[in-house]
A and B are shown apart, each in its own frame.
Chain A
Amino acid sequence: MTTATAAAPSAKPSGLESGAPRRGLVSRIVDRIGSGAVQVIMILLGLFWLVPTLGLLVVSLRTNQVNSAEGWWTIFTKPAELTIQNYANLLGSGFTASFWNTVLITVPTTVLVIGIAAMAAYAFAWMDFPGRDTAFLVVVGLLIVPIQIALIPIASFYGATGIFGSIPGVVLFHVAFGLPFAIFLLRNFFVGIPASLLEAARMDGAPEWKIFVSVVFPLGKPAIASLGIFQFLWVWNDMLIALVFADTGNQPMTKYLQSQMRQFGSNTDILSSGAFMSLIIPLILFFAFQRYFVQGMMAGSVK
């Protein structure tokens, strides 16, 4: 958890006796060779991490006939085979609807989680009420509850209330399971707000909701941005919740593409272009806001 990441640099360098020998010629030569080797190793590793995604991109830009005949790496000798036909075909398929469903699930979830969690986090950080510390420990405990625990109970609950399969059902499930992390992250940020700012507002007799909206929320922007990007990606990329709670008319991209996996091999065109479409928005967000993304991750790495 974050408590640990911040605690790292306290200990003194121990276990290193003084009077060790001076560094010899050999060790300096080894260092020199080492730095060249490090460059090579890092380039190879970088390729190793980059190439699979590039492969998906190239496969998505070739027809099924070409893909079934040869590996995507032959593109370096035959760049003329590239086509956007697969993406054009996606437009007419069920994929387009699933893309909008993903948006319809992700955006409300993110907004709701931020709003509800910020209110609770403010209460946990700056209000006194009986059982506050225990309640917050429960939130910390809930951080890593497996989603599986709620699938069956909530499915029967949704069945009874008639929202099974609908987008609101999926959204509410996401919001609930996003809350522990969100409350945890925001509360830890809000406690860092200088007490003097809040006390001044309270002395002036401002109501709590006004302090929340005009003092806490604006000051909490960095943490809210981290939470927002993190929550957005988490919901956008979810498959399990959609698999159980979204019916075919309301399914997001992940569920749509999963249903295409059964014919893997014959429908590489849909799968590869669909998978690439599904990751293009997360990647844009990631590159645009990676600073916030990393902060959110560091602040809540228990998940």
Chain B
Amino acid sequence: MTERLNGRQDPPAASSAGGTSTGPAETPRTRKRLGPSPAVAIAFLLPAALLLGIWVVYPIVYSFVRSLFGAQNFSEFVGLGNYISIFTDPGTLTTIRNNLIWVIVAPIIVTTLGLIFAVLTERIKWATAFKLIVFMPMAVSLMAAGVIFRLVYEQSPDKGLANAVLTTVADTFSSSQGYPAARPREGDQSPVAAQDGGVVTKQPVQAGQPVLIPIVGVKPEVMPSNAQTAKTPAGEGLSGVVWFDFTQGGGGRNGAVDGAEKGLPGMTVEAVQNGQVAATATTAEDGSFRFEGLAPGSYTVRLPKSNFEASYGGLQWLGPTLITPAIIGAFVWVWAGFAMVLLAAGLAAIPRDALEAARIDGATEWQVFRRITVPLLSPVLLVVFVTMIINTLKVFDLVFIIAPASVQPQANVVALEMWRVSFGGGNNQGLGSALAIFLLVLVLPFMIMNIRRFRRGES
């Protein structure tokens, strides 16, 4: 069953659709003498003609007329009013802008990825398995794909795969532990004060006397699980402790390291002299730190602002800014397999000897790809590209499912707006009809293109 994905032979439907070779070209005249009467032909066509007439052709006319009338019924003639509101209402303008982004971005990504996949699968032994995996989303409903990506894009890195990957990568490159909303112990007795979003010691400090930096306001959820009971370090060099100056249940003294108080691990600590950072250290699990190899002298010890910012939590995929790119990502996941399979079949049809001849003549793989493969593939590339443009113009399910209700205005597209306006609560069938006609006008050039291409293929 897997031979098709190996993409070697042309399917019978596709090759006969090419139309240049057998059968239809020479048959019409000979057929005429033997064929049945037009009445029989009409009988065969009647069911299809009725269905197409009532469900497809008549609605086009109806929608056009309906679009010239107001929200409720045919009583209020508004002329082009609905069309004017499409192009003036900020809401619909957003949908048009989004559709524009879709049409510009998605087809290029899908076609490029499909081409890359098609070329690369020729170089691996498990090409059939790869094609099956990438092609599989085509069989899945866009609704299910939407649920799949809602889960991927969950905000919390503990639940959403996308942010889990991002934060893991970010954590590998930066070890800093964030303590948002934490602040120094305030008051005259406190040895430290807040400054520029960070914390500094009020008095200059020297080696030999441990620096105490009491912090309060650490939220339980940001307290690292590996934090140990705070310990004041002893010994050589400038050292100290950063700890959570708060004893659960009360009883601790302010500004002193009491029995059960926890150190704050992962804090970045700087020793500053004359405005210059002379040394940097990071606190251990018990909150202690020590500056190694620091010249003797007086320093100010500082906890820079970065300690008090939230640690990286990934991107807000389903927020108003990233929602459209996020949904385009799901679209690419669904359609890349389509592009790949079509292009792989196109690649398989390219004569091997042409490529071999070029390679023997010393062309690099890139030259072969750029000068031979791509030009020979260009008809298939165009088919894939145009199909994707049409699909992006009609995109509906993915936006509807993936965008949460609160950001749907920002993610909105024409097809969704049409449904929303006419059935999803808007109840304005005049505007809905105008949007449907607008959608039809958008695909019209491709309709004409298809007809032209078909005629050329037949003649």
- Partner-B contacts on A (CB < 8 A): 1-9, 11-16, 18-23, 27, 31, 35, 38-39, 41-42, 45-46, 49-53, 55-56, 59, 67-73, 116-117, 119-120, 122-130, 132, 135, 137, 139-155, 157, 172-173, 175-177, 179-180, 183, 185, 188-189, 191-195, 199, 202-203, 208, 212, 222-223, 226, 233, 236-240, 243-244, 254, 257-258, 261-262, 264, 268, 271-272, 275-276, 278-279, 282-283, 285-291, 293-299, 301-303
Is there an interface contact between A153 and B31, defined as CB atoms closer than 8 Å? no
> What are 15 sample pairs from A and B whose C-beta atoms fall under 8 A apart?
A3-B17, A16-B368, A42-B124, A49-B136, A71-B157, A122-B44, A137-B455, A145-B440, A146-B443, A151-B423, A152-B62, A237-B140, A240-B397, A244-B419, A301-B384
Is there an interface contact between A282 and B23, defined as CB atoms closer than 8 Å? no
Contact partners of B189 in chain A: CB under 8 A: none
Is there an interface contact between A18 and B148, defined as CB atoms closer than 8 Å? no
Cα A2 to Cα B345 in complex, Å, equals 12
Identify the closest chain B residue to A284 (Cβ). B139
Is there an interface contact between A67 and B159, defined as CB atoms closer than 8 Å? yes
Is there an interface contact between A299 and B14, defined as CB atoms closer than 8 Å? yes
- Partner-A contacts on B (CB < 8 A): 1-5, 10-19, 22-24, 27-28, 30-32, 34-36, 38, 40-42, 44-45, 47-49, 51-52, 54-60, 62-63, 66, 117, 120-121, 123-124, 129-130, 132-144, 147-152, 157-161, 164, 333, 336-338, 341-342, 345-346, 349-351, 354-355, 357-358, 361-365, 367-368, 371-372, 375-377, 379-380, 382-384, 386-387, 390, 393-394, 396-397, 400-401, 404-405, 415, 418-419, 422-423, 429, 432-433, 435-437, 439-440, 443, 446-448, 450-451, 453-457
Cα A137 to Cα B269 in complex, Å, equals 75
Contact partners of A127 in chain B: CB under 8 A: 35-36, 38, 40-41, 44
Given contacts A23-B362, A299-B17, contact A153 B58 (CB under 8 A): yes
Identify the closest chain A residue to B51 (Cβ). A176
Contact partners of A254 in chain B: CB under 8 A: 141, 143
Is there an interface contact between A239 and B139, defined as CB atoms closer than 8 Å? no
Question: Which residue of A39, A130, A243, A288 contacts B419 across the interface (Cβ within 8 Å)?
Answer: A243
Given contacts A71-B158, A128-B28, A128-B31, contact A5 B440 (CB under 8 A): no
Question: Which residue of B36, B336, B362, B447 contacts A141 across the interface (Cβ within 8 Å)?
Answer: B447
Q: A3-B17, A261-B401 are in contact. List 17 more A-B contacts (CB 8 A).
A: A4-B380, A8-B349, A12-B354, A21-B362, A42-B121, A49-B133, A49-B337, A67-B159, A71-B160, A128-B41, A129-B41, A150-B59, A151-B422, A152-B433, A199-B30, A212-B44, A303-B387
B254 nearest CB across to chain A (Å): 36
A9 nearest CB across to chain B (Å): 5
Is there an interface contact between B41 and A179, defined as CB atoms closer than 8 Å? no
Contact partners of A135 in chain B: CB under 8 A: 45
